[in-house]
């Protein structure tokens, strides 16, 4: 089964990146002034996180591995935590702008 912690971290990073990317695009498009610049920064952070995960998981190590149920559950948990953290970061930045 191997170590489950890397699966949690990869899922968290991927979904943090996706959430930051989507909320950054939203803020950059609909925002004005500071909100637009914060949205652009969030968008760049999201692009970096997603590119990092894709580069490390799909280009270097390959995709076909044996997967267990605990790995799926930790992946889902990591995705949920990453999405929530990304959304909270977006809300914090918008509230401070």
For the chain, give every domain's residue range: 5-96
The confidence score (pLDDT) of residue 59 equals 63
* Tens digit of each residue's pLDDT (9 = 90 or more) over 4-59: 677 778 888 888 888 899 889 988 888 888 889 988 999 999 999 888 887 877 66
The confidence score (pLDDT) of residue 53 equals 82
* Residue, of 86 and 76, whose pLDDT is higher: 86
For residue 28, how far is the Cα from the chain centroid?
18
CA-nearest of 72, 92, 94 to 84 is 92
* Residue, of 71 and 36, whose pLDDT is higher: 36
Distance CA 36, CA 63 (A): 37
Asked whether the whole model's pTM tops 0.75, one would answer no
Say how many Å lie between the first and final Cα of the chain, rounded. 45
Distance CA 51, CA 47 (A): 6
* Residue, of 69 and 42, whose pLDDT is higher: 42
């Amino acid at each position: 089964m191997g170590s489950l912690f890397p699966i949690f971290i990869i899922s968290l990073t991927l979904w943090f990146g996706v959430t930051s990317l989507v909320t950054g695009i939203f803020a950059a498009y609909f925002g004005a002034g500071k909100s637009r610049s914060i949205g652009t920064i969030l968008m760049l952070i999201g692009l970096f996180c997603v590119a990092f995960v894709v580069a490390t998981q799909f280009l270097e190590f390959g995709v076909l591995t044996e997967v267990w149920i605990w790995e799926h559950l930790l992946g889902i948990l990591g995705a949920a935590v990453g999405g929530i953290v990304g959304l909270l970061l977006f809300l914090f930045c918008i509230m401070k702008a």
